Structure 1
Amino acid sequence: MVRPSTNGPSLPLLPSMFRMVFIGFFCLHLAVLAQGPEKPPPPNVILIMVDDLGYHDLGSYGHPSIRTPHLDRLAREGVRFTDFYSGATVCTPSRMALLTGYYPNRLGWERGVVGHLMPKGTGLSPSVTTLAEVFKEAGYETALIGKWHLGDAASFRPHQQGFQHTYYLNKSNNQTRKVWRGDEVVEDPFDNRLLTEQFFSEAELFIHQQTDAPFLLYLPLTAPHFPVEAHPDFDGRSPFGVYGDVVEEVDERIGSLLEEVETQLPQQKTLVWFLSDNGPEPGEAAQAKPFRGLKWDALEAGTRVPSILWWPGQVPAGRICRGLTGALDIMPTLLEACGLNLPAPIEGLPPLDGQSQWAMIQDPALHGGRESLLYW
């Protein structure tokens, strides 16, 4: 009697099984290729705007005695702009241009700032899409810590315009004595000497709390806007007097903030953009050499401001960008850099006046920038 082999029936099946497994892996490989390379995680964005800093008032912009090693480091490791212009010659419209990408006049802003020349109860219309609203819609955590100055009526406040976390002055530090969180006053009166420290402490706390979603942190400082008063820990430290004390404090606090970012978020990319809202205040020690004019003037010194972009590995280190650009272009540039879409057009308004300068920033061979910027 011949017994059938127990292995016989399985032998012819082996080649077919290998073929099926091979075909399965091949199809999976094709599917992965069709999806393209894995999309990098969205970067965190920190937008720091100082108040009334002159073009000449940083070490990287040629000041002989104000010491700003941390901002100078950002310039060495990132992009320093030589022909960067604020959105306007004074606070409110400058911030309006920054956060919307529109000329302020298109949004009904004719002159001056909230609380001075423009009447109380005016501000940035909630119908206009802000930078914060676009980032929030994209899944970012958004924060405003510092000086708002885009309307003090309830409907104009920052938490109504895309900012989920707020700690702010609703006007300039010479116009109010209150610090707000949402609709609640949390300090009255504040100590002007301590505001910069408080803003950075809040900023570091916000960053420390971020673990999952990317964030947009808008940090518009009151310094070095008048009244110029030094923090007790910095009083008398600068060879350039009290104005230098205030600027050097801002620089040191930026250094501490960067240390917090690099410690807390070592695996995440963070983009930092630094600028001033306009030129220096008349009568203060700030300088905008070699340009003519001051704050309030539609002249070079009133509108041409220092600006530095830092994003390790994504922008050329030590790049000096001479193309014409400005705060009006920050919103579209950031959106392109972060892979986000421009907001839908607003009825009755043209597309954004701002233009993305991301290609010019990334490629040292490109020096184009804009053809013009308007002020009136």
Structure 2
Amino acid sequence: MKSAAAPFLLLLGVFGLVTAQTVDPDLLELLRGNPDLLSLLLQSDEHRSPLDKPNVVLLVADDMGSGDLTSYGHPSQEPGFIDQMAAEGLRFTNGYVGDAVCTPSRSAIMTGRLPVRIGTYGETRVFLPWTKTGLPKSELTIAEAMKQAGYATGMVGKWHLGINENSTTDGAHLPFNHGFDFVGHNLPFTNSWSCDDTGLHKDFPDTEKCYLYVNATLVSQPYQHKGLTQLFTDDALGFIEDNHADPFFLYVAFAHMHTSLFSSDDYSCTSRRGRYGDNLLEMHDAVKDIVDKLEENNISENTIIFFISDHGPHREYCEEGGYASMFRGGKSHSWEGGHRIPYIVYWPGTISPGISNEIVTSMDIIATAADLGGTTLPTDRIYDGKSIKDVLLDGSASPHSSFFYYCKDTIMAVRVGKYKAHFRTQRVLSQHEYGQECAGGFPLEDYFDCNECEGDCVTEHDPPLLFDLDKDPGEAYPLETCGHEGVFLTIKSTVEEHKAVLVKGTPLLDTFDHSIVPCCNPATDCVCNYVHEPGVPECYQDLVDTAARHYSP
């Protein structure tokens, strides 16, 4: 017959409080009569192994280019805490996203699957406030996967994966319906050009596109940008404080660096790079605040942090757009500038500092988190993301031998090893066109030079346009067909194998109903503000005046 003390011995042995030779009867008796004390021991961060269900924090920037950070080579941007993470963590040079536009890319981050499989594609390319559909509930999100592993789950910031389905308030597609226990201040749509409240681009924000929620409650329409990042950060800090004793997954989706650009007073007019640099400095410090909170609770060494962007920079935004470094193209493009991103993984004491040239993707995060959390993903569907746990912990080779660049449901290009083949390419702005569209450095309108997958601005290539990305990451010098016959055959077979098992999801982005657009109060023309004090940083007034001169007929 087993001793009644056996369960206690087992638990205490795990924490190193007893050995087979030394058992304190008084301690055992104390624990028998004090279950709360035993629970406290079980929750002790001091004895929790870093590899035992580490916390997972996913930080996502919006529209940040692969070259925007000092650690990724920007020549004038001031360094900040994210660069410190890059120096002390693992910085990837071949980090990719599942799509070059917001909604499909974020669906890939959440599910680990290409948007073409999910159905997050269509003529509009993103979910709009009047789109009836959202991220399918049949898709397992990273939040749901981590809940299965016993994690608390939290989210703040930009969602852009659907809002309502049948009314202005049903919130059918909001984050709380996709596995998040806690949802703080969030933008269910996006930080749109239409939401500019500086007077630089718009006289007044568009109430139909600009609203701030807390969980499923609309609290500001149109929202004020000033203080927005602090709201997100404060919610993230509160979630960490409330859940630090147990494993948690936290998703922080910043509104930076998407236009309309904004920053708080402390950061406005501080960067030599201008408003874009101000925005980035504010995000640096927000990330630092989050890491400081982890350290304050003695859990930084038991927390893995991923920092990525959702895709490349919106180049047509001139000085307000990001920087793709040497890469061609940007947001919406199948060129490297659209899909290649900053990708940093930070885990003090576990991941050795360094630089990796291995191919990793945003779709790998769910598989890696599940692997670290001790759970598995469903086997009834194809996952494009793979666990990169071994890449992170011991420098193993990437599990990826290929990567597909989609636009809607069309394969635009494929990478196999170091070679990339373009079947279709989109037009990219020339310097001359920039001069016409960027008077005074400011974009004259919210647009893409080419946001299409076919048509007049798209060129088809047969045979495909082939580049060696190791020698020519800027995709400037296409290789001759002659001498690369074997490469073309490998690419052809890779595409055929991919298509053979591809089941396209039903396109979800083109079902509209304007009666479901959120409205906080019809009696006030959908204008309300329950969280903000309005205001624009005073130092931006000169920019507003300059822009007004350029916009004047």
- Fold match (TM-score > 0.5): yes
Query: Structure 1 residue 204 and structure 2 residue 221: aligned?
Result: no
Deviations 1:207-250, CA, capped at 9 Å, x for gaps: 12224321111001111100112322111100100000001110
| One of 333, 342, 349 as aligned partner of 1:297 | 333
Separation in 2 of the partners of 1:126 and 1:353? Answer: 18
Q: Is the 8 A contact 1:147 1:220 kept in 2?
A: yes
| One of 105, 121, 130 as aligned partner of 2:141 | 130
Q: Is the 8 A contact 1:126 1:155 kept in 2?
A: no
Q: Is the 8 A contact 1:46 1:272 kept in 2?
A: yes
Q: Is the 8 A contact 1:323 1:369 kept in 2?
A: no
Query: Structure 1 residue 142 and structure 2 residue 153: aligned?
Result: yes
Q: Is the 8 A contact 2:367 2:386 kept in 1?
A: yes
Letter in 1 for 2:334: A
Cα deviation for residue 107 of structure 1 reads 0.9
Cα deviation for residue 266 of structure 1 reads 4.4
Moved more, 196-205 or 217-226: 196-205
Alignment match, 1:345 = 379
| One of 45, 53, 58 as aligned partner of 1:47 | 58
Cα deviation for residue 205 of structure 1 reads 1.4
Identical-residue share of aligned pairs (%): 34
Q: Which has the higher contact order (CA 8 A, sep 6+)?
A: 1
Alignment match, 2:403 = 373
Q: Is the 8 A contact 1:87 1:98 kept in 2?
A: yes
Q: Is the 8 A contact 2:301 2:349 kept in 1?
A: no
How many residues in Structure 1 have an aligned counterpart in Structure 2?
337
Q: Secondary structure at the match of 1:193?
A: coil
Q: Is the 8 A contact 2:96 2:341 kept in 1?
A: yes
Alignment match, 2:496 = none
Query: Structure 1 residue 159 and structure 2 residue 189: aligned?
Result: no
Change in CA separation of 1:267 and 1:243 when aligned onto 2, cut-off 3 Å: closer
Q: Is the 8 A contact 1:132 1:163 kept in 2?
A: yes
Q: Secondary structure at the match of 1:110?
A: coil
Separation in 2 of the partners of 1:191 and 1:157? Answer: 21
Change in CA separation of 1:134 and 1:358 when aligned onto 2, cut-off 3 Å: same
Separation in 2 of the partners of 1:323 and 1:157? Answer: 34
Q: Is the 8 A contact 2:134 2:162 kept in 1?
A: yes
Change in CA separation of 1:108 and 1:327 when aligned onto 2, cut-off 3 Å: same
Matches within 5 A, 1:300-339: 300-317=336-353, 319-339=354-374
Separation in 2 of the partners of 1:226 and 1:277? Answer: 14
Separation in 1 of the partners of 2:328 and 2:335? Answer: 6
TM-score computed with the length of structure 1 as normaliser: 0.84
Letter in 2 for 1:158: P
Query: Structure 1 residue 115 and structure 2 residue 113: aligned?
Result: no
Deviations 1:14-57, CA, capped at 9 Å, x for gaps: xxxxxxxxxx99xx99xx89xxxx97532111100000001111
Q: Is the 8 A contact 2:68 2:325 kept in 1?
A: no
Separation in 2 of the partners of 1:88 and 1:265? Answer: 36
Q: Is the 8 A contact 1:276 1:307 kept in 2?
A: yes
Letter in 2 for 1:303: H
Structure 1: tracts of 5 or more residues without a match = 1-23
Deviations 1:97-148, CA, capped at 9 Å, x for gaps: 01101111101122411118xx611221011111100111222111110001
TM-score computed with the length of structure 2 as normaliser: 0.58
Alignment match, 2:393 = 362
Alignment match, 2:108 = 97
Cα deviation for residue 287 of structure 1 reads 0.6
Task: From the CA coordinates, give the structure whose radius of gyration is larger.
Answer: 1
Letter in 1 for 2:85: L
Moved more, 255-264 or 47-56: 255-264
Separation in 2 of the partners of 1:372 and 1:158? Answer: 31
Structure 2: tracts of 5 or more residues without a match = 15-47, 165-170, 195-208, 407-553
Q: Is the 8 A contact 1:83 1:304 kept in 2?
A: yes
Letter in 1 for 2:176: H
Q: Is the 8 A contact 2:146 2:369 kept in 1?
A: no
| One of 283, 301, 306 as aligned partner of 1:273 | 306
| One of 82, 87, 99 as aligned partner of 2:93 | 82
Query: Structure 1 residue 192 and structure 2 residue 225: aligned?
Result: yes
Separation in 1 of the partners of 2:229 and 2:103? Answer: 20
Alignment match, 1:288 = 324
Cα deviation for residue 172 of structure 1 reads 0.7
Letter in 2 for 1:345: T
| One of 173, 181, 203 as aligned partner of 2:191 | 173
Moved more, 181-190 or 47-56: 181-190
Alignment match, 2:284 = 251
Alignment root-mean-square deviation, CA: 2.2
Separation in 2 of the partners of 1:239 and 1:108? Answer: 42
Change in CA separation of 1:75 and 1:182 when aligned onto 2, cut-off 3 Å: same
Q: Secondary structure at the match of 1:126?
A: coil
Q: Secondary structure at the match of 1:155?
A: coil
Alignment match, 1:7 = none
Q: Is the 8 A contact 1:143 1:164 kept in 2?
A: yes
Change in CA separation of 1:268 and 1:162 when aligned onto 2, cut-off 3 Å: same
Query: Structure 1 residue 235 and structure 2 residue 268: aligned?
Result: yes
Q: Secondary structure at the match of 2:306?
A: strand
Q: Secondary structure at the match of 1:322?
A: strand
Letter in 1 for 2:340: R
Separation in 2 of the partners of 1:143 and 1:328? Answer: 19
Cα deviation for residue 177 of structure 1 reads 2.4
Moved more, 281-290 or 366-375: 366-375
Deviations 1:41-92, CA, capped at 9 Å, x for gaps: 3211110000000111111101122123311211122100100011210111
Q: Secondary structure at the match of 1:340?
A: coil
Cα deviation for residue 170 of structure 1 reads 0.7
